[in-house]
Amino acid sequence: MTGLLVGLDIGATKILGVVARPDGEVLAEVRTGSPAGGDGVVAAAADVVARLRTESGLVLDGAVGVGIPGLVDTANGTVTHAVNLGVDDGFPFSARLGEATGMRVVLDNDANAAALGVATLIGQDDLVYLSIGTGLAAATVLDGVLRRGARNAAGEIGHIPVDPAGIACECGQVGCLETVASGSALAALWPSADRPPAQALFDAAAGGDPSAEAVRDRFAAHVADAVRLVALTVDPEVVVLGGGVAHVGERLRVAVAHALAEQATGSPFLASLDLAGRVRLAPQDVPVAALGAALLGSRDG
C-alpha cells in the first residue's frame, strides 16, 4: 500500500500517532503519555512509530510529520521553548527521531499542524485555529498557506501579557493570556479527579451550579479575548476552536460566542464584524493535529 502518511501530535500530556491516507482517512492510531525532557519525548515518539508499524501491519518507511509545542525551526528541525514539555535550547528533534525510526522527519509547531488538518477537513483555506489545551496558541492559514513568522513565533498568543497583577507563566512573564484561557487555567479554577476538568465544569454549569456557571462564563470571556485578538489581527473567515478543552463540544462554542456577543454590545465596530458568527469547532471525530502533522510530512513542511 503506497501513499500512506504518518503523523505525530506531541502534547504536554500525550503523544498521538496516526497512519492516514492523503484524503484524511485514518487507518491506525496509537496513543501514549508524554514524558518530560527531549530525550524522553524522542524515545516515546519512536515507540509510537514502532507500535503503528506493528499494529497496522503496514510498511511505513517514508516521512513522519510531527507537531510539537514551542518555537520550531522547520528548516533545521529543532525546537526551543517547549516549556510544557521541558524541551529547550534548540533541541535537534528531527535528527534524533530520524535516527530512532529510520524515517525522514518533518517538524512543525503543533498548532500549525492542527490548523492544516482542520483546513483540509473542512475545506477552508482562510482560518485561524485556536488550540486550547494545556497551553494556548493560535495558527493561521491564509490562502491555503501556513504563516509561521520570521522567527517561527507566529500565533504564540498565549504568551501575550494581559494582567500585570496576574500569576507567573512558565515562559517567565507574568499574567499571560495562557494563564487565564487554557486547559491548565481551567483546571486550576475547577479541579476534577475523576474526569477532564473542562467536562466537569461544563456539566456542572449545565446542571445549574451557580459557581460553575460563573467560572464557565469567566473562562469563556478569556477565550473570547483570544478570538478577538486573532480576528482583529488577520481577519480570517473563521476562527476554529480546538485542543483538549474543545472536546466539551458545542457548549464551548456557544459560551464563547455568547461572550463575544456581549463584548460587542457597546461597540458598533465589533458588532459589525460578527465575531460570534465566525467561531467554529474543530471536527471532533478526527485527530486533527496528528492528521495535520501527517499532511505536513507529505508536503515536506
Per residue in 183-195, pLDDT (tens digit) is 999 999 999 999 9
pTM over 0.75, yes/no:
yes
Nearest to 291 by CA among 115, 96, 100: 115
3-state secondary structure of 13: coil
Residue with cell 457597546: 266
pLDDT the model gives residue 223: 99
Note whether 74 and 94 are within 8 A (CB).
Answer: no
Which is nearest to 16 in space by CA: 291, 295, 249, 268?
291
For the chain, give every residue range classified as CATH 3.30.420.40: 5-115+286-298, 124-281
- C-alpha 249/C-alpha 90 separation (Å) is 36
What's the rounded Cα separation, in Å, for the pair 242 and 173? Answer: 25
C-alpha distance from residue 208 to each of 23, 171, 197, 247 (Å): 43, 36, 17, 20
Among positive and negative, which fits the CA dihedral 213, 219, 221, 223? negative
CA geometry: angle 37, 40, 41, nearest 5 deg? 80
The whole-number pLDDT of residue 301 equals 41
Position 300 scores a pLDDT of 58
In this prediction, the residues of the chain whose per-residue pLDDT falls under 70 are: 1-2, 299-301
Alpha helices per DSSP H over the chain? 38-56, 93-101, 110-122, 183-189, 197-206, 210-234, 250-263, 268-273, 288-299
Rounded to the nearest 10 degrees, what angle do helices 210-234 and 197-206 cross at?
A: 120
Strand, helix or coil at 202?
Answer: helix
pLDDT value for 25: 85
Q: Are 206 and 199 in contact (CB under 8 A)?
A: no
**pLDDT on residue 255:** 99
CATH architecture type of domain 124-281: 2-Layer Sandwich (3.30)
Closest CA to 16 of 6, 29, 4, 35: 29
CATH class of 5-115+286-298: alpha beta
- Label residue 88 left, alpha or beta by phi (over 0 means left) and psi (-120 to 50 means alpha): beta
CA 75/CA 87 separation, integer angstroms: 18
- Residue 23: phi and psi, rounded to 5, are -85, 0
